[in-house]
């Protein structure tokens, strides 16, 4: 199970942690890790990119699809205004814990078919921003910069993990998934993902509702439930959001609000999805139906910030 890796990651990230410290922990488990330090104005962060090779993955010269797991967040902390790890840190915790769990699986001979690329960033002193109904953590660098470092062109499908507790549209303790988003289209919820959710969580699937606004770039003046679908503006790959959720409205800036068992559920779910994607047994969308939709109604890439 993934709870041990989540607890270890919570302990690692709960403090003035640096990206290099996190990278060293991952390298110590035999993982290939790239780090990139980025500064903008008064903010800075360290991006991590972890490659976990699959038995038949492209990194091994084969052709199994690559799964991307992105830990989305503003920051793991909001120092000096808040002492300790913030609720918004869930995305980074889940991403790092997933890397540690996959490393352990590999050591024990359980390799996934396809490669898994895991990205996130480590910032212990991110800014806060006003948001309705509760304040959010703001990104320390522009959202477009975050997408540049977190969305890898090798990703054939993307799972975007983000704490999504500061809303009144889905109030459930645990995690939820979004419909698949691809090239400006909000697609049907993938049946395969609903099945896996119910197997992993042991309860009926929960789906986070989206508006068209949510899949457009940040900074355009439109309301966004949060940044969970921002990777979808920077790729042609299908993207599904994996949201940690709560029964009550919890600010992203709140401390003491990270729930280990909920995050562990996210990690287990993402790994199960990656197994299915890499083996070709699971899909995030119906390719023929998507092609038919585009033929009927045209490109929607303008919603990604690109051309019509």
Alpha-helical runs (H) found in the chain? 3-13, 19-27, 90-107, 143-150, 191-201, 260-279, 287-297
pLDDT in tens, 249-292: 999 999 999 999 999 999 999 999 999 999 999 999 999 999 99
Please provide the distance, in angstroms rounded to a whole number, between the alpha carbons at the two ends of the chain.
45
Contact 160, 70 (CB under 8 A): yes
Q: How far apart are CA 181 and CA 239, in angstroms?
A: 5
Beta strands in 136-200 (DSSP E): 136-137, 157-163, 174-177, 181-182, 185-186
Inform me whether the pLDDT recorded for 307 exceeds 90.
no
User: What is the rounded distance in angstroms from the CA atom of residue 196 to the CA atom of residue 201?
Assistant: 8
Strand partners, 128: 137
Model confidence over 203-223: pLDDT tens digits? 999 999 999 999 999 989 999
Amino acid 306: pLDDT: 60
pLDDT given at position 131: 81
Q: What's the number of domains the chain is made of?
A: 1
What's the token pair of residue 190? 């993938």
pLDDT at 308 over 50: no
**Digit-coded pLDDT (tens) for 10-62:** 999 999 999 999 999 999 999 999 999 999 987 999 999 999 999 999 999 99
CB proximity list for 15: less than 8 A, separation 6 or greater: 124
For the domain that residue 239 is a member of, what is the CATH number? 3.40.630.10
Query: Which structural domain range is residue 206 located in?
Result: 3-304
User: Beta strand pairing status for 157-163 and 67-71?
Assistant: parallel
d(CA 271, CA 77): 26
pLDDT of residue 135: 79
Mean pLDDT of the chain: 96
pTM for this entry: 0.97
What are 190-205's pLDDT values in tens digits?
999 999 999 999 999 9
pLDDT tens string 48-99:
999 999 999 999 999 999 999 999 999 999 999 889 999 999 999 999 999 9
């Amino acid at each position: 199970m993934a709870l041990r890796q989540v607890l270890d990651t919570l302990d690692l990230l709960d403090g003035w942690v640096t990206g290099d410290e996190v990278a060293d922990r991952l390298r110590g488990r035999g993982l290939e890790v790239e780090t990139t330090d980025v500064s903008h104005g008064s903010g800075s962060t360290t991006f991590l990119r972890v490659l976990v090779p699959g038995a038949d993955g492209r990194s091994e010269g084969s052709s199994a699809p690559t799964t991307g797991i992105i830990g989305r967040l503003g920051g793991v902390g909001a120092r000096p205004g808040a002492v300790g790890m913030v609720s918004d840190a869930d995305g980074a915790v889940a991403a790092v814990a997933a890397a540690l769990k996959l490393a352990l699986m590999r050591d024990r001979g359980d390799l996934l078919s396809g490669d898994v690329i895991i990205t996130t960033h480590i910032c212990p002193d991110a800014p806060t921003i006003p948001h309705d109904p509760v304040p959010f953590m703001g990104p320390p660098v522009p959202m477009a910069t975050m997408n540049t470092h977190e969305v890898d062109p090798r990703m054939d499908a993307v799972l975007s993990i983000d704490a999504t507790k500061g809303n009144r549209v889905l109030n459930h303790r645990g995690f939820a998934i979004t419909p698949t988003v691809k090239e400006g289209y909000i697609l049907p919820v993938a049946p395969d993902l609903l099945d896996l959710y119910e197997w992993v969580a042991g309860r009926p699937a929960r789906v986070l509702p989206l508006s068209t606004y949510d899949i457009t770039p940040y900074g355009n003046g439109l309301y966004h439930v949060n940044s969970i679908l921002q990777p979808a503006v920077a790729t042609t790959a299908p993207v599904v959001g994996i949201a940690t959720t709560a029964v009550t409205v919890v600010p992203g800036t709140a401390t003491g609000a990270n729930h280990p068992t909920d995050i562990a559920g996210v990690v287990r779910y993402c790994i199960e999805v990656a197994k299915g994607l890499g083996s070709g047994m699971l899909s995030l969308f119906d390719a023929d139906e998507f092609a038919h939709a585009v033929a009927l109604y045209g490109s929607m890439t303008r919603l990604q910030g690109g051309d019509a």
